[in-house]
């Protein structure tokens, strides 16, 4: 990963939790939506991007490429929609906030 001057904030959430979160995410100033492009995530990610008024990028196994997503969104907040199995990493959190900069990454439940 290249050195980031400003941290990128990735809000990682499973697709089944997206519909209930979109209104709350509007306050987070989400700049872009990413998904892995599977049927499960595609619908939720497209809906979120439309409601947030931002673009969407689909990439296979996006959850394994968070550093690259961060490189493309320095200083921004992006929503990363993953499948329910991948989202199990978040535990009880509806959204996991992953902040990535040149010093590494910090993950924690997102509080909105």
Which residue ranges make up each domain of the chain?
Answer: 8-109
pLDDT averaged over the chain? 87
For the domain spanning 8-109, the CATH number is: 3.40.50.1240
How far are the Cα atoms of 1, 70, 83, 98 from residue 16, in angstroms, in the given order?
30, 23, 8, 19
Considering only residues 39 and 32, tell me which one the structure prediction assigns the higher pLDDT. Answer: 32
- pLDDT of 81 > 80? The answer is yes
Q: Are 45 and 81 in contact (CB under 8 A)?
A: yes
Check residue 1 and give its pLDDT: 46
Confidence of residue 13 (pLDDT cuts 50, 70, 90): very high
Q: Are 37 and 58 in contact (CB under 8 A)?
A: yes
Note the pTM of the prediction, 2 decimals: 0.88
């Amino acid at each position: 990963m290249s050195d980031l001057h400003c941290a990128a904030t990735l809000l990682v959430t499973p697709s089944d939790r997206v519909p209930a979160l979109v209104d709350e995410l509007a306050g987070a100033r989400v700049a872009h939506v990413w998904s892995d492009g599977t049927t499960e995530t595609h619908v939720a990610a497209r809906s979120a991007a439309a409601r947030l008024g931002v673009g969407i990028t689909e990439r296979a196994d996006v959850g394994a490429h968070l550093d690259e997503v961060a490189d493309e969104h320095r200083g921004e907040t992006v929503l990363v929609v993953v499948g329910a199995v991948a989202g199990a990493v978040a535990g009880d959190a509806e959204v996991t906030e992953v902040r990535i900069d040149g010093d590494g990454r910090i993950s924690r439940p997102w509080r909105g």
